Amino acid sequence: MRNFKPDATGPLEGLRILDMTRVVAGNELTVILADFGADVIKIETPGKGDDLRNWKTEGISTHWKVYSRNKRSLTLNLRNDKAKEIFVKLVESADAVVENYRPGTMEKMGFGPDRLHEINPKVVLVRISGWGQDGMYQHKPGFGTLIEAMSGFAASNGFEDRPPVLPAFAMADMIAGLTGASAILAAIRHVEVNGGKGQVIDLPLFDPLFSIQGPLAANYKVTGKVPPRMGSRFTMAAPRNTYQCEDGKWVALSASTQGMWEQFARSIGQEELIEDARFKTNSDRLKNVDELDEIVGGFMKTHGREYILDHFDKAGITVGPVSDIEDLMDHPYIKDREIIVEVPDEELGTLPMHTVTARLSETPGEFRRPAPKLGEHNAEILGEFGVNGDELADLEKDGVI
Distance, in Å, from the CA atom of 269 to the CA atom of 265, rounded to the nearest integer, reads 7
Per-residue pLDDT of 96-133, as tens digits, reads: 999 999 999 999 999 999 999 999 999 999 999 999 99
Contact 15, 94 (CB under 8 A): no
Do the strands 200-204 and 124-129 form a parallel or antiparallel pair, or are they unpaired?
parallel
Taking a C-beta distance cutoff of 8 angstroms, is the pair 353, 341 a contact? yes
Instruction: Indicate whether 237 pLDDT > 90.
Output: yes
Cβ atoms of 193 and 123 within 8 Å: the answer is: no
What are the residue ranges of CATH 3.40.50.10540 in the chain? 16-212+334-397
Query: Phi first, then psi: what are they for 241, rounded to 5°?
Result: -170, 180
Q: Has 173 been annotated as catalytic?
A: yes
Query: What's the maximum distance between 2 C-alpha atoms anywhere in the chain?
Result: 86
Q: CA 22 to CA 50: how far, in whole Å?
A: 5
Q: In terms of Cα–Cα distance, which of 233, 224, 181, 188 is closest to 203? A: 181
pLDDT band for position 1 (50/70/90)? confident
Q: What pLDDT does residue 135 have? A: 95
Q: What's the pTM value of the predicted model, to 2 decimals?
A: 0.95
pLDDT averaged over every residue in the chain:
97
Asked if residue 73 lies in contact with residue 375, where contact means CB atoms within 8 angstroms, the answer is yes
Cα distance between residue 73 and residue 76, in whole Å: 10
Query: What share of the chain in percent tops pLDDT 90?
Result: 99
Q: Going by C-beta distance under 8 Å and a sequence separation of 6 or more, which residues neighbour residue 58?
A: none
Q: Where in the chain is the domain with CATH 3.30.1540.10?
A: 240-244+250-321
Question: For domain 16-212+334-397, which CATH number applies: 3.40.50.10540, 3.40.228.10, 3.40.50.10320, 3.10.640.10?
Answer: 3.40.50.10540
Does domain 240-244+250-321 bear CATH number 3.40.50.261?
no
CA 138 to chain centre: 23
* Segment 128-184, tens digit of pLDDT: 999 999 999 999 989 999 999 999 999 999 999 999 999 999 999 999 999 999 999
Query: Which residue of the set 39, 50, 173, 293 is catalytic?
Result: 173
Look at residue 298 in the predicted model and tell me its pLDDT. Answer: 98
3-class DSSP assignment, residue 157: coil
- Side-chain half-sphere exposure of 223, counting CA atoms within 13 A: 11
- If you average pLDDT over residues 47-57, what whole number do you get? 97
Span 297-327, pLDDT tens digits: 999 999 999 999 999 999 999 999 999 999 9
What's residue 60's pLDDT? 97
Which of 40, 122, 113, 110 is closest to 78 using CA atoms? 110
pLDDT of residue 256: 86
